[in-house]
Amino acid sequence: MGPEEPLPLPPNFAGNTDGYVEALLQFGTTSTALRTLCGGVHILDFFTREPDLYSLVLPGEWRAWFARDDVDVMGVLDLLMRMDLGVFDEESATGDPAWGERPPASLLAFVREVRGLLLRREWEPAAETKSVRGKGGKVAGLPRHIALGMNVKKQHEVQHFAAFVDRLTEDIRRERGDEAAISHIADFGSGQNYLGRALASEPYGKNIIGIESRKNNIEGAKGIDVLAGLAPKKVVLRNKKEWRKEKEKDGGPLKKGRGKKKQEECEDCGDGPEETNAAETPEEETTAAAEEKAQGQEDAFAGFAPEGTADFVQEVEKETFNGIPKGSKKAKLHLLEEGNGSIQYVEHRLEDGNLAHVIQEIVDPSKVGSEQSSTSAKEDANQPFVTTTPAVTASTRAQDPNLMVISLHSCGNLVHHGLRSLSLNRAVKAVAMIGCCYNLMTERLGPPSYKLPQLRPNHPRLEATANAFDPHGFPMSDRYATYPVPGTDDVGVRLNITARMMAVQAPQNWGPVDSEAFFTRHFFRALLQRVFLDRGVVEPPPSNTSRLMENGRTVSGSVSPAGCSSGGEPIVIGSLKKSCYKDFVAYVRGALAKIEGNPDQPDRAEQVREKMKGITDEEIARYEVAYRARKKELAVVWSLMAFAAGVIEAMIVVDRWLWLKEQPDIERAWVEPVFDYALSPRNLVVVGLKK
């Protein structure tokens, strides 16, 4: 059961897990280049510093080579991630046919070090599983009614992770016997329940517990169950005109398509370089926005709970949005005729790994009739969610269930809670968790006592997260928490929010077209910051007079939080219309219109309006001409940042695996890729099995 190696190790560490972990920790805590690129700089400062950020961050020999006309950005990306570096090992080799001069030895050494620590992400569908298969033995696509509401990426994730979970449960049953077989699968942060719906249906037929903190997500999931034909449609007979009048009194006028408004996905689950635009969003704002988006709904069916209507009232109901009575929460069990599976929804906010309240709500589907499958009860203020429903009684409650906890792209600490549930709950026998949104993790250890590579003063948000001392935060493992940092008196591995945010990039997926558009957006945003500086909208960054030594190299300044504007003033632009990116003039006009028209920040709008008054298109265009040659420099730095951040993601994943290995009641733990990186970059699942 599981792969031969517990980690998808890079080739240079094949069969040497302990050596890999030690090398990862040493490089991650001592490399000045890594700590500067991932946690020490921000693109918004690119054109506002004197001396400039480019010359501060990169060694002179690197800058000289990147400045060559025969070295373009895609060539840099190829060098970082795709090119065989062995061609530069030959003593006679002086360069590459595409380049007149070979890259500097120190740059090649850095690329080799980073590559040598990246976890392997290659994936092939399993050769054996009971799921429906198509030609060539590959897992067939999801049935159309199950794939309802999913985009291509989501279909791929659900299709293959469902097959993985099914295969894992079957392996457990074969190895440990029917009595130890997994009886229920609990999905942390089930959202619209795409994964649970697939697992409960043919060919898997699993009993699913969807654990979700947001009521509208649960109601949206139930609505999709109805549309998919997996649950009966609720028919409510009422006077339509009177009902509409009541709705308008309670919540304002009804709008068509209210339930189908598309919500943004968690921004850190992106597929390409444009999905996590840390350069456009100040760090202080980024985290708050991401927290909202990370908890948001994922598709066009958000909040959709279809109800039948009729012209006559047959039953008087007191309802709020989506038919949920005020002061109550719902636990609902759907018994599926196809596949012999079931779906049970539980509204619960996960604060840790203790699932005692969830476990006592689990129903044995074989003991519940269809007439008992839906119910609601008054909320008990002493409980985190309702713990009594007519469907869950002494006769219907599952006795000694064997749970597997799973999650598909849980944000932040939710993966930590899922992993800890394996040790905190006797009923949980296995976990399989895929994480994302590392910037939403909290920090456990507090700020370091030693100086990181520094370029700017600490932002209050960075200090707040570093001083969180959250026992549920990063790092999880004692190995990380007690690791003596080489060359310092400090103990423990720390990753600030800037570094963790960079870890959700996917530079291996960047192509010429999307990269050009992405770097153009970054260039325009950084250049607008220069305009703001010249016009007095923002204060200049501090002078770079202090020089510090770290690991034998001189570094400068103080830690730069992700997205913080010069002088610590966050100015959020966000997304603009596509037409705003045709040139810098269009971008500035679009950005100013958005800022000045923001009713939520009238003081900022007035400040920008006053400071930017009178700026002409010709003046704006001169900025683009003056700084155009440095766009390549910005693209090079961002490429290096995203490439190096693969080490940060490896550190996070390995920490979670190490925590499982440290628990005395865990028999086996491993990490493996479960779908195609090109379609879904956060493709590593952390698996743990209890003894």
Task: State pTM to two decimals.
Answer: 0.79
What 3-state DSSP class applies to 431? strand
In the chain, the largest separation of any two C-alpha atoms, in whole Å, equals 89
Q: Which residues pair with 686 in a beta bridge?
A: 433, 671
Question: Do 295 and 268 touch, CB atoms closer than 8 A?
Answer: no
CA atoms within 13 A on the CB side of 180: 14
- The answer to whether residue 668 scores a pLDDT higher than 90 is yes
Q: Is the pLDDT of residue 24 over 90?
A: yes
CA distance 128 to 665: 29
Mean pLDDT of 442-464: 59
Taking the C-alpha atoms of residue 93 and residue 108, their distance in angstroms, rounded to an integer, is: 14
Tokens for 9, please give them.
Answer: 């190790």
In degrees rounded to 5, what are phi and psi of residue 474? -85, 140
Q: What is the DSSP track for 11-73?
A: GGGTT-HHHHHHHHHHHHHH-HHHHHHTTT--GGGTTT-SS-HHHHHS-HHHHHHHTSTT--H
The pLDDT tens digits for 393-410 are: 777 788 889 999 999 998
Compute φ and ψ for 310, nearest 5 degrees.
-145, 170
Identify the CA nearest to 102 among candidates 94, 111, 110. 94
Residue 457, preceding bond cis, omega within 30 degrees?
no
662: its two tokens: 């440290």
Burial class (CB in 10 A: 0-12, 13-18, 19+), 236: middle
Query: How far is Cα 21 from Cα 477, in angstroms, rounded to an integer?
Result: 12
C-alpha R_g of the chain: 27
Q: Which two tokens stand for residue 35?
A: 């700590």
Q: Which two three-digit tokens encode residue 103?
A: 């890259």
Structure tokens at 420: 């800890």
pLDDT grade for 422, boundaries at 50, 70 and 90: very high
The listed range with the strongest mean pLDDT (47-56, 158-167, 441-450, 545-554) is 158-167
In a domain, residue 341? The reply is no
Instruction: Give tens-digit pLDDT for 612-648.
Output: 999 999 999 999 999 999 999 999 999 999 999 999 9
> What's the rounded Cα separation, in Å, for the pair 647 and 28?
7
Inter-CA distances, 14 with 85, 110, 116, 119, Å: 19, 20, 11, 11
**What are the DSSP calls for 164-215, one per residue?**
HHHHHHHHHHHHH-GGGS--EEEEET-TT-HHHHHHHSTTT--EEEEEES-H
Q: Mutual orientation of helices 512-534 and 73-81 as an angle, nearest 10°? A: 120
pLDDT at 479 over 80: yes
- Its sign, for the CA torsion 91, 97, 101, 102, is negative
| d(C-alpha 199, C-alpha 207), whole Å | 8
pLDDT recorded at residue 475: 94
Q: Is the peptide bond before 51 cis (omega within 30 degrees of 0)?
A: yes
State how beta strands 374-378 and 553-556 pair: unpaired
> Is 528 part of any domain?
yes
Task: Give dist(CA 269, CA 266) in Å, integer.
Answer: 6
Q: d(Cα 519, Cα 368) in Å, to the nearest integer?
A: 57
The band of 97, judged by pLDDT with boundaries at 50, 70 and 90, is low
Distance CA(514)–CA(686), nearest Å, equals: 31
pLDDT at 553 over 90: no
Single out the residue of 189, 681, 160 nearest to residue 415, CA to CA.
Answer: 189
Q: Show the domain range for 37.
A: 11-89+103-119+508-645
Residue 34 belongs to a domain: yes
From CA 599, how far away is CA 531, in angstroms rounded?
23
Q: What are phi and psi of 281, to 5 degrees?
A: -115, 120
Are 543 and 51 spatial neighbours (Cβ–Cβ below 8 Å)?
no
Give how many domains the chain has, as a whole number.
1
Average pLDDT of the chain, as a whole number: 77
Q: pLDDT: is 587 or 466 the higher one?
A: 587
pLDDT tens-place string over residues 560-596: 333 343 444 578 888 899 999 999 999 999 999 999 9
pLDDT band at 130 (very low <50, low <70, confident <90, very high): very low
- DSSP one-letter string for 605-633: HHHHHHHTTT--HHHHHHHHHHHGGGHHH
- What percent of the chain has a predicted confidence (pLDDT) above 70? 72
pLDDT higher than threshold 60 for residue 253: no
Nearest to 648 by CA among 537, 495, 546: 495
Task: Report the candidate in 119, 166, 138 with the shortest Cα–Cα distance to residue 8.
Answer: 119
Res. 690: pLDDT tops 70: yes
Residue 339 backbone class (left: φ over 0; alpha: ψ -120 to 50; beta: rest): left
517 belongs to a structural domain: yes
- For 70-91, what is the mean pLDDT? 87
**What distance lies between CA 70 and its chain's CA centroid?**
36
What is the pLDDT at residue 251?
64
Rounded average pLDDT over 522-534: 94
Residue 512 lies in a domain: yes
The one-letter amino acid code at 300 reads A
Q: What is the pLDDT of residues 626-635, one digit of tens each?
A: 999 999 999 9
Residue 476 counted as domain residue? no
Is residue 198 classed exposed, middle or buried when 0-12, 13-18 and 19+ CB atoms within 10 A define those classes? buried
Q: Within 191-336, where are the H helices?
A: 194-200, 215-227, 240-251, 283-294
pLDDT at 238: 77
CB burial of residue 664 (10 Å; 0-12, 13-18, 19+): exposed
- Is the pLDDT at 25 greater than 90? The verdict is yes
**Which pLDDT score, from 0 to 100, does residue 113 have?**
97
Q: How far is CA 615 from the centre of its chain?
A: 39
Q: Closest Cα partner for 124 from 139, 140, 134, 135?
A: 139
Query: Positive or negative CA dihedral for 218, 222, 223, 224?
Result: positive
Quick check: is 200 in a domain? no
How many angstroms separate the CA atoms of 281 and 521, rounded?
Answer: 12
Does residue 464 lie within any of the structural domains?
no
